[in-house]
Structure 1
Amino acid sequence: MQAQTIDLQSKVPIDPNVRIGKLPNGMTYYIKKNAKPEHRCELRLVVNAGSMMETNNQLGLAHLQEHMCFNGTKNFKKSELVDYLESIGTRFGADLNAYTSFDETVYMLQLPTDTESVFLKGFQVIEDWAHNVTDDNSEIDKERGVVVEEWRLGQGADERMRRKYFPVLLNGSRYADRLPIGTKESILGAPCDTLKSFYKTWYRPDLMAVVVVGDIDVDKIETLIKAHFAEIQNPSNEKPRFTSTIPDHNDLKVSVCTDKEASYSLVEINFKQPVPESNTIGDYRNSMISNLATSMLNDRYSELIQQNNPPFNFAGSYFGSVVRAKNAFTAYCVVPDNGIEKGLSTLLTEIKRVKDFGYTSTELDRAKQSVLRSYETMFNEKDKTESKSLVREYVSNFLEQEPIPGIDWEYNTAKNLLPGITLEEINKMIDSWITDGKNCVIIVTAPEKIGVTVPTEDAVKTIFSHVNNTAVEKYTDKVSDKPLTNSIPIPGKVAKETSDAENGITTWTLSNGAKIVFKQTDFKNDEILFNAFSWGGTSLYSDDDFMCANNADGIVDNSGLGNYDDVELSKYTSNMVLSISPNIGELTEGLDGSCSVKDLENLLQFANLYFTAPRKDSTSFNSFISQMITQLQNKNNQPGAVFSDSLTSIMYSYNPRYKPMTEQMLSQIKLTRAYNIFRERFSDPADFTFVFVGSVTPESLKPLVEKYIGGIPSKGKTETYKDNNIKWMNGNFNKKVMKGTEPKSTVAMLYLSPFEYNRYNRNELNAFMKLLNIKLRETLREDMSGVYGVSASPQMVHYPKSQCRIIVYFSCSPENVDALVGAAKKVIAEIMANGCDDKNLLKVKELMLKGRESDLKENRFWLSLITSSLKDNEQVSEIKNFNSQIDALKSDDFKRLALKYFDNKNYGQVVLYPEK
């Protein structure tokens, strides 16, 4: 198929491997067999109705109804639905969830498919959601409190400013008055019958789709769908599902919003556009043109960020949805204090530069190569694509008619269409987006504080007009023709090989002392994950050097590699599927990366250059410091940031190395010292272990690691970390942090204990945390309606001292703090007294075993497992004992673990309260 022979008016086909049907009652269904992950299936119930369907007395009730679907149906009374799904290993939140937006409500469920009775019962859940939710009055009233706590979580500076600029952006449309969370008054006060009316009106088959993707038999699923959903009736006198529009406007609109708790200044320019058609191949081609246009503009913005005194510290653009009824070409930037005018002017100037002169041929070539590599990666993984990814496409097809031709068609079509896309077409599309103010809205949000000047709406309009009427120069695309490096490594050799045949892991020791550990897998077709580590880190440096050591990785990573600065390197790698970055932590330093099979040599060359040719670049350093200043200038305005910093300081006994970063502390970071520390940390490969997992063969890896890792000069020196005696806070303490104006508290309950660090103990404690999270959710959320979410997590540390800290974390109303803390302690005390009941013991085991079953098929799990085993001097083969250990857990084990790790002598809590 040649590009010139494609009929652009022909329809984009539908993937023939997706079975799509419609029942007589109007319900649509999508079914696709997909084997990743094995023995799992993703189900979605899609309701084409959200908060836009609410009447004025139903605000927030679309979302409350979503919650009620988990609180009682015809076949699952009250909490039985969640109880049952957890008992088969389905994780609440991760595998069982839902969301409500303006225009839709979507229910998400993952089920195991290897036991038919379990799958069939789980399938009953989505039928019940569709038409058999009981909406019991007492359960509704209980759930109101949970939804209010979700509302409370969203309150703060961003929400206050959003409510000011949203009506301007949406030009008085109904959307502006239908934020899905609703209002506290409506959530608490709406009559139960008003909620039930919403469910009866809008939960109906002609507005629904069922999507099933996974390790399934398509014919059987279609039969199931018909059996469960064909008899559901649409209501008589049904209300039409209406759509709302956003009115056009001829003039530029501006909204300037400030707030005392805002953490940064943001500029956003929106040129609103109609939602483009997506039916034909020509439409598909237009979407490729828009993606190319914004990606090239983003590259130009990124180049500006690398200046000595950048106009903004982050910037980007995209063409996409504002709401379902309207798209926009949007450009945005985050700027330092008093930098709004400069940031706005620069954003607009670059847009005008593109409008006046378009892009260059070299920019377009790079953008096309990058897009094609993205398609290629998806094509290479077509039989290893996760079901969750596919199911999102089919949901979008139902709701927004997003094409679903399948990756075979998309990759082949991209290869044929991309070469024919011209600069003139891209420039024409950009020109069609940009106006002299028509349907354009500029939003400015900023902190309200002394010394920060924020432009008025008239001043913003003046800048817009000035840039539009000022001549700009044509962009010059500077592409380096230098080699990445002037030196060619002298290859080393594999001096020793050992093998762990049981786990498929091979270790090579190279002639320069570096260790290479790799595991070839077939979990993905085109994914190689990589890390490297060595002991030392910031622990080896004095307090005076700490700021330089702690930021050396970011400074060097921001500076490019070899002969290329960061901008040149970005252009050089535009056609690569590759990422790599250095890290320097408290006890270790290393590299993290990933690549496609094709780019393995590039990954290893970059790894080599971090040892042999890192860059010291004053321009990049100044850009780095400028970005840090912007991050820190207003951090203390934000209650959450103040709480997080306070919590960290307290947990580490106010050690200066865990002191909250401030703008003033940046003066301690010196380029030369930071660079020299980096060189010291990455000076000797003999001290490093390099780990590779994924689509890597020994035949392809061996010559490359011999050249690029074996070719790094070695001194044969090894190091370890230094114990600086950084103490964790122990004993009893109760700290209050006073910050913010919203009636919102955040609670951290901390338990510190000694810990014998080994895999067996870690498995036990992780199992205990599953139980604790379930019990805390049942008590604090479901029984008390006092929180939206609560989490308990362990921090298990081996070095320099083996110890454990468990944190119970939740947000709530300030007046409920004491009651909820007391309830959480009571949950722990009950486990101490009674252990684990049979129902929850089954849940814990299934959650642990199902989770491990999935993990064993993931490259990232194996990379983490191998790396941690090497660091902790453990055997990877110990994981074979996991299932038997979990199966053997008994009720009394949880009693023992509660008594062991929840010592009230080492209990502390830190609570955020609003300022008086």
Structure 2
Amino acid sequence: MKQKRWLTIPQGSVFLLLMCSLFLFSGCASLNEREILSTSPCISNSWPHEKSDLQPDPDLTFGRLDNGLRYVLLAHDEPQNRVGMYLNVQAGSIQETEKQRGLAHYLEHMLFNGTTHYPPGTLVEYFQSIGMGFGADTNAHTGFDETVYKLLLPKGDRQMVDEGLLVLADYARGALLLEEEVNRERGIILAEKRSRDSVAARVRKKQMHFEFAGTRAAQRDPIGIEEVLLQAGSADLRTYYDAWYRPENMVVVVVGDMRVHDAEQLVVKHFSGLNPGSVQPECSELGRVAEKGTDVLYLHEPELGYTRISYGTVYNEQSTDNTKAWEEQQLHAYVAASILNNRLEKIARKPGSPFTSADVYSGVFLDTLGYATVTASTDNSRWREGLSVLRQAISQTMESGFTVSELERAKKEILAYLKKQQQTAKTRNSTKIAAEIIRKLNSNEAILSPAQELALYKPMLEAMKVDDAEQAFARLWKRERRLIQVVGTVDLGSDEEQAEEQILKVLAEQSRVAALDWKDEQGLHFPYLQSPVTIGRVQERKSYDTIGVETVQLAGGVRINFKKTPYQRHQVQVAVHFGQGKLSEPSPGMAGLAESVVRESGVGGLTREQLNQVFAGTNVELGFKVGAESFSLTGTSLAEEFEMLLQLVYTQLHDPAFRKTAFEKSRERAGKMFDQIQNTVEGQGQLVGSKFLTGDNPFYTMANRTQMMDVQLHQVVEWLQPVFSAAPLEINVVGDIDQQNALALVQRYFGRENRSEHTLIQPTRVLFPQGQEFVHRVNSSIDKALVTVAWQTDDFWDIARTRRLNLLASVLGDRLRLKVREELGATYSPVVYNQSSRTHQRFGMLQSKLTVSPDQALAMAELVKEVAGELGKQGVEELELERALEPTLTSIRDMQRNNSYWLHAVMALSSRHPQQLQWPLSIVNDFQSITTRELKQLAALYLKPELAAEFVTSSRR
């Protein structure tokens, strides 16, 4: 669901999700002040800042053509030689009539199937030929009030920008909408509807009906309804297209490594001649929600796998202009929601809490529908207690308000986020900037630069008092409307009225709930361990000048790999690898629980919640992962916070915590996860399919419920504690940070270790079920099947072979797209990938996955094997190779300008696999040298139909 002007604070991500309604990315400069008035009163093409007292970012160029079409341009060179290009149509499913439900999304599909300059079947192939991946670099989405088309061009020269804008102009007014293409696409639309169908999606639709009853939002899910989709024809789509795809209702957004002057000339060239269609848009009232009374939604959905409880309100909001006063009001509301979120997070982490997680949401949807809710996941036996706690959290906050310490924590978190946005502005990704521009425009909000945001909000935060947050909270929750929801596996009987009475009775007994304790702890200190004073002894130092990496081997079993990069300004990433990870797992299920236990336990001297409190106001983050062949602590921070990040890594290794409460919460969440996957073809495909395809090898197999629930805390401690304290460390550092200072800090904190190698564990053999097939039936009401066809390939370490297998997978995926999607309309998005093992010699798998109708599953599996077999017999055509290769080369160029590539693909575990440090030197030339002959040989060797294993999870019995 697309939300406008929203504030959402999910648990555990206070400063990452900092409300889209506040924190913006870019702005505007030159513009045509004359507004073109539409013939329709429901279309306005004024800029949000024209009705605001906020000055927009001068780095953006805004313009408006005589026909009303608007454009926004920004030169931005990250990633290099890439240009993000978007057509933003300010209409979606909410503009559909009853007889058009689903046509906005259907039309989005049709614009890839024939336009003035790109006949049917040519556009995707054109994109691939110039280095754009279908889906990754060319895509679109339809929301309630927007339809957005995306192109990510591989170059920014004038010719490429010219060609890209020609495509967008064709989308805008050049759709052919041929009847035969409409009929061909119908199967794909229905396949997408099937692939997205789930019990959770159906529940969410029912919740939309409940929450926004009386409005069009409750009846306009973008995917539409089958009655319309099955009957839709070219004329129906043309009616919607001509009504809403009008110049004055569209905005072209171009952000990237290009010349703004050229782009502006080309926008004028391609779009100034566009004219609206003959159909006049029909303006419809959105409707209003009831503002008084209490309503209850009870849904017994055993297949959902969990129970979710909610306590909330909805209201009608006046659409307002975006002003400084409005921004301050939103800021106060966000701070209030942040404080409540922190309170609920504390409750969720307490021993004996009635819920495992809780979230706070508030905002305005579609400009005029306000909402606020607190919601939590709970155990079936404790839903009453959980619902009482949620309501008590609201009523107690209304009565007692907030504390100064709570306010200061929330303010510090927001300021830290603003500071990071301002420092990293120059190296933000163009696509993210463009997405923010579009979201802000469609939300009728002025666009500010990160520097402007900091200048705007910092004084507001400094002046903000507890009373301001309390008043903002009261504005939401003093309303008379209440919506109560109990949804999921809890069974309150078949009589809905009696079930609702049970739920209302819980609320009537609110006075019995004890006051909640959520006071911030005082006197917390970090770091609390005594840090080393002297720098460790260097045994060996080596520079890899061709890739800009330096390695330092310290005495005591510590190796440092360092690379300075300009790709993410003022940011640094760290990955510390040690031990043997899942290879050393003593029993199935322990790895999954161990990850959660370590993350939730905090460190020895501070709980997870105490750590959150201590690190409020910083951008330091650290996570723990059990990888295939190592454990890792992976973190990020601003460069100026690097020492604080190292202190956290040091503490995690030298004073780890394995708390009982964290273990119990982790087990409870694992149980809910198994409940959720029990009745889904996707979940069972993962659980049962991994066993079938690897001969039940525990390294590749997802543990079952019994195995995971049998794991005890002492086993996790016995497995991990010795590794944390004694296993050799490989510390990888990548980012925009001074090399000398960074290495000195790492040497200081980790130069006095005394770590030694352990006996390497030999992996057990994997038994691939060559030539076998298995059908697994799932007890699900969702009519779908997941088809997996797999072939055994080879391990990872012949990198030339692995690269060619990856490209072969791309070729097969494209053939399946053309055959199964475009020709047969049997699936929405076929997925093909090769996964070569880093741990097991001579083992890898190339897999194809399709979501289809259950009655087509076995036939589709045979078809996949047939298409794959043809690659080995008839070979790969040059054009096929080009369509697979060019997008791959584009993604490689992007990848090499990203810290994560150097950290995880090149440097990580290079102490064990030094050949990784040579791979960046050959990757482009090696891919460019791949031939059709090589791919045919690989296909003939690995992709024979008789060598395939076939696995189907199906909902049909």
- TM-score, length of structure 2 as denominator length: 0.90
Quick one: distance in 1 between partners of 2:533 and 2:426?
A: 39
Alpha carbons of 1:801 and 1:420: their partners in 2 closer, same or farther (altered >3 Å)?
Answer: same
Structure 1 match to 2:399: 356
Alpha carbons of 1:117 and 1:660: their partners in 2 closer, same or farther (altered >3 Å)?
Answer: closer
Deviation track 1:221-257 (CA, whole Å, cap 9, x = no partner) reads 2221122111212234622544513333311122111
Alpha carbons of 1:884 and 1:317: their partners in 2 closer, same or farther (altered >3 Å)?
Answer: same
| Aligned residues of 2:289 and 2:369 also touching (Cα < 8 A) | no
Quick one: distance in 1 between partners of 2:299 and 2:534?
A: 59
Residue 360 of structure 2: which of 290, 298, 317 is its match? 317
Task: Letter of the 1:80 partner, please give it.
Answer: T
Aligned positions of 1:407-806 closer than 5 A:
407-435=450-478, 437-438=480-481, 440-447=482-489, 456-467=499-510, 472=515, 475-495=518-538, 496-540=540-584, 542-543=586-587, 546-548=588-590, 551-655=593-697, 660-684=702-726, 687-712=728-753, 714-715=754-755, 717-739=756-778, 740-755=780-795, 757-806=797-846
Quick one: distance in 2 between partners of 1:407 and 1:541?
A: 45
SS in 1 for 2:601: coil
Quick one: distance in 2 between partners of 1:148 and 1:139?
A: 15
| Residue 518 of structure 1: how far off its partner (Å) | 0.6
Structure 2 match to 1:305: 348
Structure 1 window deviating more from structure 2 (501-510 vs 324-333): it is: 324-333
* Mapped pair 1:908 → 2:952: no
Alpha carbons of 1:767 and 1:753: their partners in 2 closer, same or farther (altered >3 Å)?
Answer: closer
| Residue 271 of structure 1: how far off its partner (Å) | 1.9
Quick one: distance in 2 between partners of 1:660 and 1:498?
A: 40
Residue 200 of structure 2: which of 158, 171, 185 is its match? 158
Quick one: distance in 1 between partners of 2:775 and 2:349?
A: 41
Structure 2 match to 1:5: none
Aligned positions of 1:155-304 closer than 5 A:
155-236=197-278, 238-273=280-315, 274=317, 277=320, 279-304=322-347
Quick one: distance in 1 between partners of 2:217 and 2:402?
A: 36
| Aligned residues of 2:589 and 2:704 also touching (Cα < 8 A) | no
SS in 2 for 1:874: helix
Deviation track 1:674-709 (CA, whole Å, cap 9, x = no partner) reads 223211111225x22111111122222123212221
| Aligned residues of 1:506 and 1:518 also touching (Cα < 8 A) | yes
Alpha carbons of 1:160 and 1:475: their partners in 2 closer, same or farther (altered >3 Å)?
Answer: closer
Quick one: distance in 1 between partners of 2:605 and 2:440?
A: 47
Quick one: distance in 2 between partners of 1:468 and 1:286?
A: 32
Alpha carbons of 1:812 and 1:79: their partners in 2 closer, same or farther (altered >3 Å)?
Answer: same
Deviation track 1:473-519 (CA, whole Å, cap 9, x = no partner) reads 67422234345424333534241211111111111112322000110
Alpha carbons of 1:201 and 1:114: their partners in 2 closer, same or farther (altered >3 Å)?
Answer: closer
Task: Letter of the 1:263 partner, please give it.
Answer: G
Quick one: distance in 2 between partners of 1:123 and 1:348?
A: 52
| Aligned residues of 1:747 and 1:810 also touching (Cα < 8 A) | yes
Quick one: distance in 2 between partners of 1:541 and 1:23?
A: 64
| Aligned residues of 1:261 and 1:639 also touching (Cα < 8 A) | no
SS in 2 for 1:428: helix
| Aligned residues of 1:484 and 1:561 also touching (Cα < 8 A) | no
SS in 1 for 2:657: coil
Deviation track 1:314-342 (CA, whole Å, cap 9, x = no partner) reads 11112234444313122111112222222
| Aligned residues of 2:869 and 2:943 also touching (Cα < 8 A) | no
| Aligned residues of 1:166 and 1:176 also touching (Cα < 8 A) | yes
Residue 851 of structure 1: which of 888, 891, 895 is its match? 891
Structure 1 window deviating more from structure 2 (821-830 vs 339-348): it is: 821-830
| Aligned residues of 1:40 and 1:112 also touching (Cα < 8 A) | yes
SS in 2 for 1:808: strand
| Aligned residues of 2:364 and 2:370 also touching (Cα < 8 A) | yes
Quick one: distance in 1 between partners of 2:597 and 2:265?
A: 59
Task: Letter of the 1:177 partner, please give it.
Answer: Q
Quick one: distance in 1 between partners of 2:865 and 2:789?
A: 9
Quick one: distance in 2 between partners of 1:834 and 1:248?
A: 65
| Aligned residues of 1:559 and 1:617 also touching (Cα < 8 A) | yes
Task: Letter of the 1:531 partner, please give it.
Answer: A
Alpha carbons of 1:885 and 1:616: their partners in 2 closer, same or farther (altered >3 Å)?
Answer: closer
Gaps of 5+ in 1: 1-8
Task: Letter of the 1:184 partner, please give it.
Answer: E
Aligned positions of 1:832-871 closer than 5 A:
832-864=872-904, 865-867=906-908, 869-871=910-912
Structure 1 window deviating more from structure 2 (359-368 vs 395-404): it is: 395-404
| Residue 393 of structure 1: how far off its partner (Å) | 2.3
Quick one: distance in 1 between partners of 2:911 and 2:857?
A: 43
Quick one: distance in 2 between partners of 1:474 and 1:436?
A: 25
Quick one: distance in 2 between partners of 1:591 and 1:527?
A: 17
* Mapped pair 1:831 → 2:868: no
| Aligned residues of 1:536 and 1:719 also touching (Cα < 8 A) | no
| Aligned residues of 1:492 and 1:512 also touching (Cα < 8 A) | no
What percentage of residue pairs aligned between the two structures are identical? 23
Task: Letter of the 2:89 partner, please give it.
Answer: V
SS in 1 for 2:851: strand
| Residue 65 of structure 1: how far off its partner (Å) | 0.4
* Mapped pair 1:877 → 2:933: no
Quick one: distance in 1 between partners of 2:408 and 2:286?
A: 40
Structure 1 window deviating more from structure 2 (139-148 vs 167-176): it is: 167-176
| Residue 643 of structure 1: how far off its partner (Å) | 2.4
| Aligned residues of 2:789 and 2:948 also touching (Cα < 8 A) | yes
| Residue 868 of structure 1: how far off its partner (Å) | 5.3
| Residue 562 of structure 1: how far off its partner (Å) | 3.4
Q: How many residues align?
A: 902
| Aligned residues of 1:313 and 1:334 also touching (Cα < 8 A) | yes
SS in 2 for 1:180: coil
Alpha carbons of 1:39 and 1:460: their partners in 2 closer, same or farther (altered >3 Å)?
Answer: same
Deviation track 1:97-149 (CA, whole Å, cap 9, x = no partner) reads 11111211111111133443333122210000000100010000000000000
Task: Letter of the 1:844 partner, please give it.
Answer: A
Structure 2 match to 1:6: none
Residue 861 of structure 2: which of 785, 801, 821 is its match? 821
| Residue 771 of structure 1: how far off its partner (Å) | 1.4
Alpha carbons of 1:474 and 1:674: their partners in 2 closer, same or farther (altered >3 Å)?
Answer: closer
Alpha carbons of 1:890 and 1:155: their partners in 2 closer, same or farther (altered >3 Å)?
Answer: same
| Aligned residues of 2:593 and 2:666 also touching (Cα < 8 A) | no
Deviation track 1:546-592 (CA, whole Å, cap 9, x = no partner) reads 54565334323211113111111110011121111223345322221
Structure 1 window deviating more from structure 2 (258-267 vs 902-911): it is: 902-911
| Aligned residues of 1:744 and 1:813 also touching (Cα < 8 A) | yes
SS in 2 for 1:525: coil
Aligned positions of 1:84-163 closer than 5 A:
84-163=126-205
Task: Letter of the 1:880 partner, please give it.
Answer: L
Quick one: distance in 2 between partners of 1:597 and 1:84?
A: 42
